[in-house]
Amino acid sequence: MLTLSRYLKPYWKAAVLAPLLMLLEVYMDLLQPKLMADIVNQGVAAGDLATIRNTGLLMLGVALIGLIGGAGCTVYSSIASQNFGADLRDDLFRKTQTFSFRNLDKFKSGSLITRLTGDIVQVQTLVQMTLRVLVRAPFLAIGGVIMSFMLNPRLALILAAAIPVLFLVLYLLIRVSQPLFLKVQEKLDRVNTVLQENLSGIRVVKAFVRSDFERKRFGEANRDFTDIALKAARTIALNAPIMTFIMNVSLVAVLWYGGAQTWNLSFPVGDLIAFLNYVTQVLTSLLTVGMMMMFVTRARASAGRINEVLEAEPEIADKPGASADAIRAGRVVFDRVSFAYDEDGRELALRDISFTVEPGQTLAILGATGSGKTSLVHLIPRLYDPAAGRVLIDGTDVKDIALEHLRSRVGMVLQQAILFSGTIRENISYGKPDATQEEIEAAARAAEIHSFIAGLPEGYDTLLGQRGVNLSGGQKQRISIARALLVRPTVLILDDSTSAVDLATEARIQQALKERMARSTCLLIAQRISSVVDADQILVLEDGRIAARGTHAELLAVSPVYRDIYKSQQGREEVIHGA
């Protein structure tokens, strides 16, 4: 928790004013029982109406001052805590943006969502309660004890005996509950992950009639969360009755011995009433502290999870002195590159890959599913780093190039087109927000999507649903291509990005790419031979290795693997055309 306190520094004035105003309220509350004792002892007992009236008005004034202090504390504690939460959430989000794919694989998206929402809310609420309740309760308890000893030291010993028992109970409950609250947040991570997967893949769920399976999967995650949450709640539930029991026993003892002293006329009735009020204030405050400590325990678990993200080192970051102008022509070289997704490098996805793509050339990459095609292109913009070997652009290792410069010069179009809620214009200009309408339309024409967009009632201002839900797969892919073409990258990577468009449209897109991106280096992953026949060089990957390389004609002559792919696709095309 202390490591997160730095987020309060910009709002230190509000963070200081809140507890000061609360102390004002506490002081006013401590005066009330003493004033009440004066009314009983000096007013009621003596029949002095003036004393009753004057002291009553004073009590009203004291209450109003306490109200001002309490209200002010609420306002300033809200200002401090809400801004604290906003800044922390912003920093946590910024940190996730620096993570490599391997970092994201470690934390999981569902867990990150929980940390950005629920965990931050827990800590933010704790800050507000600390500035209010954790100031009010302890000081009210301390002030009540002092006032009790001033009224009757012998009776105050009852409080002195009850307080250590209360703290012992509180300590034991905190020790038991803290591990439970950590498990609660972990189980909530699982619920969010299952929910996110189900909502993002709802079409697949319905298409394969797997609603029952998904309900069962969510039900199991939800039940696990509920069980551990109930276990934690049962632990917390012990706090209130135990502490209330101790408080009531203390009050009975005060009434027993204090009443005897009042009966013997050694302790005024008004002082006994005031003493009971102070005892109630003390014990109620300690009960509040106990409940707060339960909340503190849960917030500490959340703070630990937040710090885990903030302290995580991005596996991919700029080196000191990284070049910000290394990429000029776009010559790409893989020098004996190997890569593994696991950190220890035991399961290699790529093995000893070497090739060169000259500026303006197109390299096509073919291979079976799992052969390493996507893994290979992910190394160019440093979405991952190789386990061995080097990836160079224009003679500079990509590890020595500033990430912002590298990724601004390397354009990627993924097979799974990712669009954002907003207009079509905003999605196409995502990489170049200041693009003109003419530039946006030119990119859309090259991607063979301009005619479709122009035919929409709102044109380029058409709003897209979440992930472009109101578009077909081919339309989303072509908008993604337009987005990449708009920034005119030096190196363009197309990861099977035309798989959802027909052959004729794909041919027109490729022709437009040749014209628009003639000077750019292009790496093209494809499943169809028709997509790669005109490439300057073709790599055939098999089990993470280069099985063959050459032009289309050369591979047909020397590569059995390529020839088999060609024959199988030609056969399918003949069947299709024959039908």
Domain that holds residue 250: 9-187+236-310
Based on the fold, state whether residues 247 and 381 are members of the same structural domain. no
Q: What is the CATH number of the domain that holds 298?
A: 1.20.1560.10
Mean pLDDT of 503-527: 84
Tally the C-alpha atoms within 13 A of residue 287's C-alpha that lie toward its C-beta. 17
In a domain, 52, yes or no: yes
Q: Are residues 297 and 405 in the same domain?
A: no
* pLDDT recorded at residue 248: 79
Tens of pLDDT, residue by residue over 541-576, are 988 999 899 999 999 888 888 888 888 776 544 433
pLDDT at 389: 93
Percent of the chain with pLDDT over 90: 27
Q: What is the mean pLDDT of the chain?
A: 84
Report which DSSP code applies to 326: -
**In terms of domains, do 39 and 111 share one?**
yes
- Residue 576 has a pLDDT of 34
The proportion of the chain whose per-residue pLDDT surpasses 70, expressed as a percent, equals 95
- Give residue 466's identity as a one-letter amino acid code: Q
Q: pLDDT of 362-380, one tens digit each?
A: 999 988 888 888 899 999 9
Supply the pLDDT for residue 412: 87
Does residue 436 form part of some domain? yes
Residue 132, pLDDT score:
87
Q: What is the reported pLDDT for 203?
A: 61
Those residues whose C-beta lies under 8 Å from the C-beta of residue 76, and which sit 6 or more positions away, are 14, 15, 17, 18, 21, 131
How far, in Å, CA of 94 to CA of 314, rounded?
A: 12
Residue 354 pLDDT: 94
Whether residue 554 sits in one domain with residue 435: yes
- Mark whether 369 and 249 lie in a shared domain: no
Calculate mean pLDDT across residues 134-139. Answer: 86
- The per-residue pLDDT for 85 is 92
- Provide the Cα torsion 123, 127, 128, 131; round to 10°: 160
**Residue 579: predicted pLDDT:** 36
pLDDT tens readout for residues 197-216: 777 677 667 666 778 888 88
Task: Say what the pLDDT of residue 208 is.
Answer: 66
Please indicate, yes or no, whether residues 56 and 110 belong to a single structural domain of this protein: yes
Q: What would the mean pLDDT of 217-228 be, rounded to a whole number?
A: 87
Residue 88 inside a domain? The answer is yes
Q: Per DSSP, what are the bridge partners of residue 187?
A: none
Q: Is 97 exposed, middle or buried (0-12, 13-18, 19+ CB in 10 A)?
A: exposed
Residues 170 and 294 reside in one and the same domain: yes
Tell me what pLDDT residue 437 has: 92
Give the pLDDT confidence score for residue 205 in this predicted structure: 72
The residue written with tokens 């099977």 in the block is: 496
Residue 64 has pLDDT above 90, yes or no: yes
Distance CA 93, CA 105 (A): 16
Condensed to tens digits (0 to 9), the pLDDT of residues 279-290 reads 888 878 877 877
Q: Provide the CATH number for the domain around residue 502.
A: 3.40.50.300
pLDDT in tens, 376-428: 999 999 988 998 999 999 999 999 999 999 988 998 888 778 888 889 999 99
Asked if residue 90 has pLDDT above 90, the reply is yes
Rounded Cα distance between 120 and 299, Å, is 9
Query: Is residue 578's pLDDT more than 50?
Result: no
Dump the DSSP string for 212-273: HHHHHHHHHHHHHHHHHHHHHHHHHHTHHHHHHHHHHHHHHHHHHHHHHHHHTTSS-HHHHH
What pLDDT, on the 0 to 100 scale, is given for residue 575? Answer: 36
User: What's the mean pLDDT in 291-318?
Assistant: 83
Interval 331-349 mean pLDDT:
86
Number of folded domains that form the chain:
2
User: What is the biggest distance separating any 2 CA atoms in the chain, rounded to whole angstroms?
Assistant: 119
